[in-house]
Amino acid sequence: MTAKTQTILSVLISFIFYFTWTWYANSRVTDDVALLLRCALIQSSYSAFMTLTFTTLLRWTIGKMKCHDHPYLVIIPPLLMQSTTVYFINYLNQTPNLILTIIPGIFFTAIYGIFFTYTLLKKPEYQCHTQH
């Protein structure tokens, strides 16, 4: 699978999963279909966009920190950016079940970041070529 195909597939999966999850999480606390739809569209669109930006920022930080003693710390800056952004977007949107809406995204982004970092650190362009 090419990187472009993998990215497109990841974005589509992210959109569909978070649309469905957000609808479910918030339908537990409201019957307002317009609010449910707005929340689901905002969260799923944000998640699809964040899949792209998180990956870009993670690649950049891996490139900058590949010679660090603890290269897996590279997921912290993109994860903090993602977590803060998703919280404020949903806060501003007045998402009824905010915490239940965002926790899976933060969790799965962290898992994705760890595996993505592991994969990239195996590639020659992301390996440290200097001696400590």
Residue 95 covered by a domain = yes
pLDDT tens digits, one per residue of 36-53: 999 999 989 988 998 888
What predicted TM-score, i.e. pTM, was given to this entire model? 0.73
Residue 87's contacts (CB-CB under 8 Å, 6 or more residues apart) are 98, 102
Domains: count for the chain: 1
Residue 132 covered by a domain = no
Better-predicted residue by pLDDT, 7 or 34: 34
Better-predicted residue by pLDDT, 27 or 4: 27
Q: Domain of 104? A: 3-126
Residue 131 covered by a domain = no
Identify whether the C-beta of residue 126 lies closer than 8 Å to the C-beta of residue 66.
yes
Does residue 6 surpass a pLDDT of 80? no
How far is 124 from 66, CA to CA, in rounded Å?
A: 11
Does residue 4 surpass a pLDDT of 70? no
Residue 86 covered by a domain = yes
Mean pLDDT score of the chain? 87
Better-predicted residue by pLDDT, 62 or 16: 16
pLDDT of residue 1: 63
How far is 48 from 16, CA to CA, in rounded Å?
A: 9
Residue 74 covered by a domain = yes
Residue 35's contacts (CB-CB under 8 Å, 6 or more residues apart) are 26, 96
How far is 78 from 65, CA to CA, in rounded Å?
A: 13
% of the chain exceeding 90 in pLDDT: 43
Residue 56 covered by a domain = yes
